[in-house]
Amino acid sequence: MQATAGGLLSVRLVATFLGVSTATVYKLYASGDLQSIRVGAAQRVSREALAR
């Protein structure tokens, strides 16, 4: 799995890893079940947050 700078993962990579759609990843962000970091207009998730 490739990470962006700083070890942050894109929505598409998180979705692929979890086996869900990108829409589901955004819903996880919105519900607070998955912590994300906003980088400009994009949301990213750290490997540590994904491991939880």
Q: How far apart are CA 45 and CA 8, in angstroms?
A: 5
Amino acid present at 52: R
pTM of the predicted protein model? 0.78
What would the DSSP string read from start to end of 4-40? Answer: -GGGEEPHHHHHHHHTS-HHHHHHHHHHTSS--EEET
What domains does the chain contain, in order, with CATH numbers?
Answer: 5-51 (3.90.105)
Give phi and psi for 44, each to the nearest 5. Answer: -130, 155
* pLDDT tens-digit map of 13-45: 999 999 999 999 999 999 999 998 888 888 899
Looking at residue 6, its pLDDT comes to 67
Confidence of residue 48 (pLDDT cuts 50, 70, 90): confident
